[in-house]
A = this chain, B = another copy of it.
Amino acid sequence: MTDTAARNQRKIAVIGLGSMGLGMATSLARAGYEVSGCDRAPEALAAARAAGIITATDPAEAAHDADAVLSVVVNAAQTETVLFGGAGAVPALRDGGIAISCATMAPSEARRFAAAAAERGALYLDAPMSGGSVRAAEGALTFLVSGPTVTYEAARPFLEAMAQTVYHLGEDIGTGAAFKMVNQLLAGVHIAAACEALTFATKLGLDLAQVYEVISNAAGSSWMFQNRGPHVVEGDYTPRSAVEIFVKDLGIVEDIARAERFPTPLAGAALQLFLMTASAGMGHDDDASVARLYAKIAGLDLPGPAAP
C-alpha cells in the first residue's frame, strides 16, 4: 500500500471491545475504515481478533495517527483514563483528530473532557447512544450527538457506519449527555415497571404469554416492555444488558437530579429496585431479573431459573 493510499483510508481506534464496542468496531470495519481496537480484558481482545479486528496493547497504540478515537467504556472515570491517562488515546491522534465519547455521563463531565481534548489539540464529540448489542453489530444504533457542527460533520461518516439514526442535538457539549440521561431515566423506570406488572399478573393467576401479547397491543406498552417482556415470559436471564448497567445509569441520573435539586421519585424507586436485584446476587444477569426479585419477595414461581 502506498503512503497516499494509506492516507486515503481513514483510521479509527475503538477503546472498549465489550458487546457494544465489538459490534461498533465490526460495523466500522465493514464500512471500509481501518479499525484498531483495545480492551483491558484478554477475552474481549481474543473475541475481537476472532472477528477480524486488529488489536493494540493500549489506547495510545490503538489511536496512533488515527483520525478519531471512539470511547465505548462504561462511565466518565474510565473515559478519562482511556482518553487522557497514561498511554491515553487523545495525545496519540493525528493533529486535529476527534475523540468521540459514547459512555453515559453527566453533562459537566462531557464539558470537562472537551476542554481537556482542546488543550491537546484534539476535537471532542459528546455522542452517547441508544440501542443494545444486537443493533451495535447491525450498525443500527441511535446516536444522541452534541458538539460544534464542524466536529460533527467530520465525525459523521464514522457515526453513520454504526447507526440507523444520528441526531445532532446542538452545538454545546453536554446536550447529548443530558438527552441520554432523560432516555435512561425512562428506560430504567419502564424495565422495572414491566417487571412489577408481569409479576403482579403472575400473582393474579394470569397467563404470562397472554399478558405479554395483550399489553404489547394496549396503552400499557413501552419499548422496554416489548423488548424485555420475552425474557421474563421465557425465563431467559442471559445478560443482553445487565442489572449493573442500570445501577450505574440511574445512579448517574440520581446524582445529577440531586445536584440540580430536582426530585425524581420514580427514577429513585427504580434505582432501588435495580440495587435490590444486584444485592440479591443478580447484578450480572439480564436486567429483566428485577422480575425475579419481585418473585423472590412474594414467593412466586416464574418461568426459568429463580433468583439465587
| A residues neighboring B (CB under 8 Å) | 107, 130-132, 142, 144, 165, 167, 169, 175, 178-179, 181-187, 189-190, 192-194, 196-197, 199-201, 203-206, 210-211, 214-215, 217-225, 227, 256-257, 260-267, 269-270, 272-273, 294, 297-298
Contacts and interface: CB of A to CB of B under 8 A. Distances in A.
A193 B182 contact: no
A133 B226 CA distance: 25
Decide if the interface of chain A is mainly helix, strand, loop or mixed: helix
Copies in the complex: 2
A186 B269 contact: no
Pick from A215, A256, A270 the residue with the most CB of B within 10 Å: A215
Given A167-B214, A179-B206, A186-B221, 9 more contacts: A142-B218, A182-B201, A182-B204, A186-B193, A190-B220, A196-B265, A218-B223, A263-B298, A265-B273
B182 A186 contact: no
A99 to B, nearest CB: 23
Contacts of A210: 169
A107 B185 CA distance: 33
B203 A260 contact: yes
B186 A142 contact: no
Contact of A204 (B142, B178, B192): B178
Nearest to A135: B219
Instruction: List the 4 closest pairs (A to B, CB-CB), nearest first.
Output: A186-B220, A222-B222, A183-B220, A130-B218
Nearest to A270: B266
Pick from A169, A199, A218 the residue with the most CB of B within 10 Å: A218
